[in-house]
């Protein structure tokens, strides 16, 4: 369930802090959120796919850890990411 290159580039352009920024927490959270959405749609069709469900839980927890880090370091950036991705706490 990897993201297409074009989708990845669009997400990186939207959330990057500067040119060539692919490692900031905002970009990582946005990429993980897109993967989560795709996996969730897959699991709605294939409810018994246990391996993908485990991968989804791993990705969700990784995103949660990144969001926790961002909330501790920069509240304004955290709230911007939450608002733009439509994530509610």
Mean pLDDT, consecutive 10-residue stretches, the chain (89 aa), reads 88 92 95 96 96 97 97 96 89
Is the whole model's pTM more than 0.75, yes or no? yes
Distance CA 85, CA 63 (A): 12
The answer to whether residues 24 and 16 touch, using CB atoms and an 8 Å cutoff, is yes
> Is 20 a domain residue?
no
Please tell me the predicted confidence (pLDDT) of residue 1. Answer: 65
> Is 8 a domain residue?
no
Domain extent for 58? 25-85
Please tell me the predicted confidence (pLDDT) of residue 2. Answer: 80
Please tell me the predicted confidence (pLDDT) of residue 88. Answer: 76
> Is 81 a domain residue?
yes
């Amino acid at each position: 369930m990897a993201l297409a290159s074009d989708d990845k580039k669009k997400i990186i352009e939207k959330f990057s802090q500067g040119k060539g920024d692919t490692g900031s927490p905002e970009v990582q959270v946005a990429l993980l959120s897109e993967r989560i959405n795709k996996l969730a749609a897959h699991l709605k069709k294939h409810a018994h796919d246990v391996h993908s469900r485990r991968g989804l839980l791993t990705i969700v927890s990784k995103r949660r850890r990144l969001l926790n880090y961002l909330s501790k370091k920069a509240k304004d950036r955290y709230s911007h990411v939450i608002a733009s991705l439509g994530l509610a706490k």
